[in-house]
């Protein structure tokens, strides 16, 4: 879709007559001609402050910004003022499609299996953290796979030992009622067998309270004698600025509150080219496919 076509859609009921002439003679490959027409349309609409013209222009600019942030695995390509799908089918890029589907479920309140979607998202985030942190990573969020960790009193000492950190309390003193202490995925990077490494504790959210989430570092530090203070992170399948107004200062405040933000664009970049375990990839494709009929009715 070109910027002019987008403007045509936005102003269809408004009756912007100049665009009817545009539709008749513009060669879709003639980008210079299109750019000139758009300049003329914007000039004509300036006195009336056409919000549609501004929105059409801002949409293309935003897509171009996202393409630059994500890289070659972003599903939309921008050529001058024309946005085109890079893929013939969403299944060719199932990871990004899944992240976008989670966003659509949230934005339009679609009927979907929220619990399954959340569990799949957490396991996908593990791959992103492993690439970002450059070391090891593991899923810890509740519910856990029984074969991996199980209940908190068993799971917590095992993940701490896996990281080569030390418990501050005896295993028998760990609370039975705890689930995951608000941490869904953990990444760490060891240098050698000696203590002293970087650790990232990450919470995941696919719901409306994502910005209010945060890892309780104090609770983890009460139970674990970290050699180096851990870093916090928050992963969510949204682009914050698109969900609600977010200035540069508000983005900084978000960082201060949750640690490193892993939004959809950052996750997509980190997951680009990463080999995902077959069963997980199949599961996220199935979850996305189940949402397709709901999307087609929007």
Residue 18 confidence (pLDDT): 45
Q: What is the mean pLDDT of residues 90-108?
A: 93
Task: Read off the pLDDT band of 19 (50, 70, 90).
Answer: very low
Helix 18-25 × helix 31-46 angle, to 10°: 180
Q: Is the pLDDT of residue 74 over 80?
A: yes
Q: Is the pLDDT of residue 29 over 60?
A: no
* Cα dist from 168 to 149, 160, 171, 215, 219, whole Å: 19, 11, 9, 19, 11
Ranking 48-62, 93-107, 222-236 by mean pLDDT, the lowest is: 48-62
Interval 212-256: pLDDT, tens:
888 999 999 999 999 999 999 999 999 998 887 788 899 999 999
Q: What is the mean pLDDT of residues 176-197?
A: 94
Dihedral pair phi/psi, residue 276, rounded to 5°:
-90, 140
Q: What is the mean pLDDT of residues 47-69?
A: 81
Q: Global pTM?
A: 0.84
Residue 277 confidence (pLDDT): 95
Residue 26 confidence (pLDDT): 44
Q: Is 22 exposed, middle or buried (0-12, 13-18, 19+ CB in 10 A)?
A: buried
Name residues whose C-beta falls within 8 Å of residue 129's C-beta, 6 or more positions apart in sequence. 137, 185, 186, 187, 200, 202, 233, 235, 262, 270
Can you say how many angstroms the Cα of residue 22 is from the centroid of all Cα atoms in its chain? 37
Task: Read off the pLDDT band of 40 (50, 70, 90).
Answer: low
Ranking 46-50, 101-105, 184-188 by mean pLDDT, the lowest is: 46-50
3-state secondary structure of 240: helix
Q: Is the pLDDT of residue 14 over 50?
A: no
Task: Read off the pLDDT band of 298 (50, 70, 90).
Answer: low
Residue 100 confidence (pLDDT): 95
Nearest residue to 95 (alpha-carbon basis) of 284, 221, 230: 284
């Amino acid at each position: 879709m070109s910027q002019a076509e987008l403007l045509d859609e936005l102003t269809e009921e408004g009756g912007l007559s100049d665009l009817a002439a545009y539709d008749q003679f513009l060669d879709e490959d003639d980008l210079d001609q299109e750019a000139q027409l758009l300049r003329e349309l914007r000039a004509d609409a300036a006195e009336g402050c056409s919000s549609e013209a501004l929105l059409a222009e801002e949409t293309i600019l935003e897509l171009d910004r996202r393409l630059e942030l994500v890289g070659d695995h972003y599903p939309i390509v921008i050529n001058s003022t024309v946005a085109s799908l890079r893929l013939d089918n969403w299944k060719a890029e199932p990871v990004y499609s899944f992240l976008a589907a989670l966003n659509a479920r949230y934005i339009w309140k679609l009927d979907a299996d929220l619990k399954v979607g959340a569990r799949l998202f957490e396991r996908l985030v593990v791959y992103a953290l492993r690439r970002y942190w450059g070391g090891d990573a593991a899923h810890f969020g509740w519910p856990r796979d029984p074969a991996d960790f199980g209940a908190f009193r068993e799971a917590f000492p095992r993940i701490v030992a896996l990281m080569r950190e030390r418990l501050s309390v005896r295993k028998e003193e760990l609370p039975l009622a705890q689930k995951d202490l608000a941490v869904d995925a953990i990444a760490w990077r060891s240098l050698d067998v000696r203590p002293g490494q970087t650790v990232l504790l990450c919470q995941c959210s696919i719901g409306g309270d994502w910005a209010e989430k945060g890892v309780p570092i104090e609770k983890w530090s009460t139970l674990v004698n970290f050699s180096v203070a851990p870093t916090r992170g928050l992963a969510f399948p949204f682009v914050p600025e698109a969900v609600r107004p977010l200035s540069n200062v508000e983005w900084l405040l978000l960082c201060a509150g949750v640690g490193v933000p892993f939004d959809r664009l950052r996750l997509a970049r980190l997951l680009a080219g990463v080999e995902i375990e077959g069963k997980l990839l199949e599961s996220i494709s199935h979850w996305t496919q189940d949402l397709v009929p709901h999307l087609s009715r929007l």
